[in-house]
Amino acid sequence: MNAKHTASHWPLYLITVSSLVPVFLLACWVPTLSQEQALVLDRLLDQHLLGQVGVWSSNFALMSKAVANYVAIAAPLCSIGLALLVCRHHLRPLEQLPVLSLRRQLFFHVGWVVVVGVLLAQNYFGYTDFAHHRAKFRWVGNHPGLYPFFASMMLLALEFAFVFSYVVLVHYPLLRLARRRKARQD
């Protein structure tokens, strides 16, 4: 990797890393709250933010609720910045994209919308208590030190899903339409 290539990607890395830092800060800060502060934070999360969403643990309910709310709010905001950077500087030319048949494009787009829909439903309209989950994921709900790592992976997955969705479902089709229109005019 050359220096110019790495230097052009630093804003992407900066946004991504800076979006992950608050997950770990919340995980360290929230358990040390006093009882009054915890009640105020819990009320704030329930009344003014999203309440109980995403993945959380009843073993450390307030911390995981605060982190899950942060993930749900930060993912779309950070994705906007990442999408703008990716679309402005880092896309491959359209000629290098694989040409898919209409059926494959439709299958891909419908499949991707379903995947993003499941992520949205889980992280914004439902919740999963990992303290009482199957054995495969129970370790996340039983260890407050491991939960932030899992939550940060959820944040990265949501950011990637939102950016990829924008690029594939909006940006590339608009570029193709603009090129077709320009080709017709010439």
Tell me the pLDDT tens digit for each residue of 82-95.
888 877 765 555 55
Range of the domain at 93: 3-185
Q: Quick one: three-class SS letters along the chain? A: CCHHHHHHHHHHHHHHHHHHHHHHHHHHHHHHCCHHHHHHHHHHHHHCCCCCCEEECHHHHHHHHHHHHHHHHHHHHHHHHHHHHHHHHCCCCHHHCCCCCHHHHHHHHHHHHHHHHHHHHHHHHCEEEHHHCCHHHHHHHHCCCCHHHHHHHHHHHHHHHHHHHHHHHHHHHHHHHHHHHHHHHC
How many structural domains are present in the chain?
1
Q: What is the mean pLDDT of the chain?
A: 82
pLDDT attached to residue 98:
65
Residue 155 confidence (pLDDT): 93
Percent of the chain with pLDDT over 90: 24
Contact indicator for 30, 62 with CB cutoff of 8 Å: yes
Judged by DSSP in three states, 37 sits in helix
- The whole-angstrom separation of Cα 23 and Cα 111 is 30
C-alpha closest to that of 119 among 82, 163, 170, 59: 163
What CA–CA distance (Å, rounded) separates 83 from 175?
Answer: 15
The model's pTM = 0.81
